[in-house]
Amino acid sequence: MKPLIIANWKSNPDSFSKAKELFSQIPKKENVIICPPNIYFSLGGNVNLGSQNCFFQSGAFTGEISPEMLKSLKINYVILGHSERRNYFEETNELISKKVKACLKENLKIILCVGEKKGESLSSVLKKQLSSFQKGVFAVAYEPVWAIGTGQACKSEEAEKALKLIKKKVNCKVLYGGSVNGSNFKDYLKVGFDGVLVGGASLKIKEFKKML
């Protein structure tokens, strides 16, 4: 099985034309999934697409996107519980659990993000955050918050400890995310991760292509 490479563009790039240009350089590969801002989905052509978030139902929820909507557009993947959602938008484990349940109902492939902040106990954070896990979740992404967007990736030996703890608790693919780049991504595969969740480096096409 080829390692999964999932790109989380976050709220980038800042224009439709830049998104078009970026997509035009990404080859379709079965193990590569691009999660752009939803407003750019139509540019994805035939690459595998994922959403960076979604709400748990359709209806009077201004600004939200539902699992049914994603399903109807053949967006098969969805990231839930990203630390930026938890920290900037105050998403709780309870809310994330509802989202997980609703996305499973639509057979979306969920990438559930977990990870500790600096100084927090890894095992107790994993215990709390993995309470949102349900059978059928496609992958758990271990993303230590302090390693995200800082250029200070978690050493693969350290990340391996988290991998083992996660594998003890749940049965699904496990990815690493946090300052992954074209040089260090292989280290995470070597210690047993099933793939990587890439932020900043997925916007730099040269860097991203090294991984592909």
Q: Which residues contribute to the site for ligand 13P (CB under 6 A)?
A: 8, 82, 143, 148-149, 177-180, 197-201
Alpha helices per DSSP H over the chain: 16-24, 67-72, 83-88, 93-105, 122-129, 156-169, 185-190, 205-211
Secondary structure element (H or E) that encloses residue 175, with its range: strand 173-177
| Distance in Å, CB of 62 to ligand 13P, minimum | 25
Distance (Å, rounded) from C-alpha 140 to C-alpha 13? 25
Choice among 82, 84, 91, 160 that is catalytic: 82
Choice among 84, 91, 116, 143 that is catalytic: 143
Q: How far is CA 80 from CA 1, 4, 50, 95, in A?
A: 24, 17, 11, 10
| Distance in Å, CB of 153 to ligand 13P, minimum | 8
Closest CB to ligand 13P among residues 57, 184: 184
Is residue 143 among the annotated active site residues? Answer: yes
Closest residue to ligand 13P, judged by C-beta, is 199
Q: What is the three-class DSSP state of 84?
A: helix
Closest CB to ligand 13P among residues 44, 50: 50
The widest CA-to-CA distance across the chain, in whole angstroms, is: 46
Closest CB to ligand 13P among residues 12, 57: 12
Q: How far is CA 54 from CA 62, 80, 103, 178, 210, in A?
A: 12, 7, 8, 22, 30
Is residue 160 among the annotated active site residues? Answer: no
Closest CB to ligand 13P among residues 133, 146: 146
| Distance in Å, CB of 123 to ligand 13P, minimum | 21
| Distance in Å, CB of 203 to ligand 13P, minimum | 9
Distance (Å, rounded) from C-alpha 124 to C-alpha 86? 16
Indicate which residues carry an active-site annotation.
Answer: 82, 143
